[in-house]
Amino acid sequence: MNINILMNILSTASLASVIATQTIQYIKQNFKITNCFIFIVLEFITGTLFSLSFTSLGIINSLWCGFIVIIGSEALYKVFKGKLGLKSSNNE
């Protein structure tokens, strides 16, 4: 097991998760779209493209990063909500 690659994927997915979730909150507020399937696809695409654009990970590892973004984006959003300028589309 290559721990360095795993750590690169997880750290990249952490950053991409915050970006993807904030993008989804923006879409919910401004476009009134609530289709969960669209949001899952958007999270996967954001994670994969973020990984391909800003890291040296290959396509397979970038796809893993996109998958991890789907799993962890909401949990990371709850941790960072109210910090780093992140807002919620509802009054929680």
- pLDDT, residue 80, reads 67
Domain locations along the chain: 19-80
Using the structure block, give the residue that is written with the tokens 């654009």: 53
pTM of the model as a whole: 0.78
Q: Tell me: the pLDDT tens digits for 33-80?
A: 888 899 999 999 999 999 999 999 999 999 999 999 998 877 776 776
d(CA 9, CA 16): 10
User: Is pLDDT above 50 for 91?
Assistant: no
What is the residue type of 10?
Answer: L
| Between 2 and 82, residue with greater pLDDT | 2
pLDDT band of 30, cuts 50, 70, 90:
very high
d(CA 82, CA 69): 20
CA dihedral (38, 41, 47, 49) positive or negative: negative
